[in-house]
Amino acid sequence: MVGLCSLYNLRIIRSAPLCPQILEILEAKMMLDSLIRACDNLWRKIILLRANGKCEICGASKSQEGGVLWVQACHIISRTYWSTRWDPRNGVGGCQGCHNHKTIMTWLRRMDPKRYKWIIRQKQKQVSHRDIDLEKVYASLCAQI
């Protein structure tokens, strides 16, 4: 299947002999994918701003690493859990060495037990992407920057 990520691909889809219903579904899918990516990027920006160039887990900073430290926006529980995918409480700025589930969960349990319990409760929620108002999520993330 053609990747549905760009206007170029939309032009290819529109030029193909598709029935209007299929075209409408494909265009809706592209809009959804675009909004999901926008929310992902805003969430990442919030986490990285909060980390301020340091690994929130081990405390490493640019100066300690000879001026080079790639801080990543890490999800504490996987992005596949829609209930917390864009919640900043489910994120931590981490260096490459700390960006793994076991390290993050151990750190969180020790440093912030209340947040750790919240994460465990949220992970148990069954939420579909259809249950989420992405425009509301996007607006909320924009307000936090």
Mean local confidence (pLDDT), 34-38: 92
Q: Is the pLDDT assigned to residue 3 strictly greater than 50?
A: no
Instruction: For residue 56, name the pLDDT band (cuts at 50, 70, 90).
Output: very high
Provide the pLDDT for residue 2.
42
Distance from C-alpha of 75 to C-alpha of 127, rounded to nearest angstrom:
17
* Residues 26, 4 contacting (CB under 8 angstroms): yes
- Could you read off the pLDDT of 70-102 as tens digits, one per residue? 899 999 999 999 989 999 999 999 998 898 888
Q: Is the pLDDT assigned to residue 4 strictly greater than 80?
A: no
Provide the pLDDT for residue 66.
62
Q: What is the pTM of this model?
A: 0.75
Helix, strand, coil content of the chain in percent (nearest 5): 55, 5, 40
Q: Where are the domains of the chain?
A: 7-143
Of 8-12, 16-20, 72-76, 96-100, the one with minimum mean pLDDT is: 8-12
